[in-house]
Amino acid sequence: MQRTNASWLSQARRTVSVLAIATLAGCATQQPPVAPAAPVQPMPARPQAPAVTGQPGSEQGFAQWVQDFRAEMRAAGVGEAALRDAFDNVQYLPRVIELDRAQPEFVRPVWDYLDTAVSAQRVATGQEKLAQIRAAADAASARYGVPAGIIVAIWGIESNYGSNYGNTPAIDALATLAYEGRRRDWARGELRAALRIIENGDIDHVHMIGSWAGAMGQTQFLPSNFLRYAVDADGDGKRDIWGSMADVMASTANFLASSGWQRGQPWGAEVQLPAGFDYSRADSSRRQSSGQWAAEGVRTMDGRPLPEFADGAILLPAGARGPAFLVGPNYRAILRYNNSDSYALAVSLLSQRLEGGPGVQTPWPRDLTPLTRSQVRELQTALNQQGYSSGEPDGLLGPATRAAVRNYQRSAGLVADGFPTLELLKRLQAP
């Protein structure tokens, strides 16, 4: 995933859902940081009507743009066969521009996202799928040190186990975005990477399909990440993340292994915090050993020892009233796949369930309503006005906004969990 603006990414990734707790800092590695909720919305690969939603003359301009880009790539040394395959039938997709410009107003709470992402059905299907592809999953696991349950959980969340990974040709989507999207330079770089994939002979234009935002195949690799991490595990000479489960499992595991996954370590565990815990310490940047957390009174739910981390952090995805987790380096490796706590938690919990472990035991604060995008903007404006700097108001709950919320909460004598509620917004706006 690219390091990109989270709002764009959230939409780019999936059309429907934006999550309450996207972590906006850091650099997303593979895909847009705001996690997916529902499977990708399938889109007709070849929309017929020129229901142009972009600027007037978009389609004519597109043809010229393609001609220029093609010439540039030819000059850069891309072979004629690859250029013909990629661009002879390239399509401008108005729907891609429409989705790229959509600004979701409502934010899905983490518990609502997890209800879908780790549903009983998702667990049951995952166990069946895992049994079916056991050999491929175990081989990838042995080679890269990432448990089969984690790889299969990513597959389950990215594409509902391959049942829905989108049918938009990546070349069409990326060419449209490079021509008229909100992040043209990024799309141009991905388009160049996609051309290299075609030139390598891994796949052709027609079969190189995925989401409208260019994420491809069963576990939704962007072309640049395909070039870095995709693996030909079945030895047929092609890296095939669409049709070969051996390649899908190995490529996904390779991504995580290259993102800091540590063999033999769990992702983390749900924990109980001691009375009087300082909630401002529940922050991904406050890392210390499990021994230190234990000395402060942090405990697992079942009384077993905490997982052993040299640098674990406490995660409170729904604020002080919700469940707490102790997370380690492998959780952070999952964040590199998609930089959203909702996403990383869903992968972690789904893998835990696939392996017969428990779900979340502490109840979620389901009575809380997450702030809408405009409300977050209002919150940021109010915080800034009162001297709690939250950066440029963008409607997104990033680290700066959370830190500002914490500072405000602390000075107002409230629990400093950095989790904004409507009540807090009203309090901030009160004259």
In the complex, the residues that contact Ca ion under the rule CB under 5 A are 232, 234, 236, 238, 240, 244, 247
Shortest separation between residue 260's beta carbon and Ca ion, angstroms: 26
Shortest separation between residue 190's beta carbon and Ca ion, angstroms: 22
How many C-alpha atoms does 118 have within 13 Å on its Cβ side? 25
Shortest separation between residue 40's beta carbon and Ca ion, angstroms: 23
Shortest separation between residue 234's beta carbon and Ca ion, angstroms: 4
Q: What angle do CA 278, 325, 15 make, to 5 degrees?
A: 115
Q: Which is nearer to Ca ion, 10 or 220 (CB)?
A: 220
Q: Which is nearer to Ca ion, 165 or 212 (CB)?
A: 165
Burial 359-373 (b: 16+ CB within 10 A, else e): ebeeebbeebebbeb
Across-strand partners of 216? 210, 221
Q: Which is nearer to Ca ion, 100 or 240 (CB)?
A: 240
How many C-alpha atoms does 153 have within 13 Å on its Cβ side? 26
- Cβ neighbours, 10 Å, residue 423: 10
> What distance in Å separates the CA atoms of residue 32 and residue 215, rounded to the nearest whole number?
9
Shortest separation between residue 236's beta carbon and Ca ion, angstroms: 4
> What distance in Å separates the CA atoms of residue 11 and residue 215, rounded to the nearest whole number?
12
Shortest separation between residue 309's beta carbon and Ca ion, angstroms: 36
Which residue is nearest to Ca ion, using beta carbons?
Answer: 232
Q: Which is nearer to Ca ion, 190 or 240 (CB)?
A: 240
Q: Which is nearer to Ca ion, 202 or 341 (CB)?
A: 202
Distance in angstroms between the alpha carbons of the first and the last residue of the chain = 43
DSSP 359-399: ---SPP-TT--PPPHHHHHHHHHHHHHTT----S--S---H
Across-strand partners of 210? 168, 216
Q: Which is nearer to Ca ion, 218 or 352 (CB)?
A: 218
Dig out the tokens for 384 from the structure.
């800034």
> What distance in Å separates the CA atoms of residue 390 and residue 380, rounded to the nearest whole number?
6
Shortest separation between residue 255's beta carbon and Ca ion, angstroms: 16
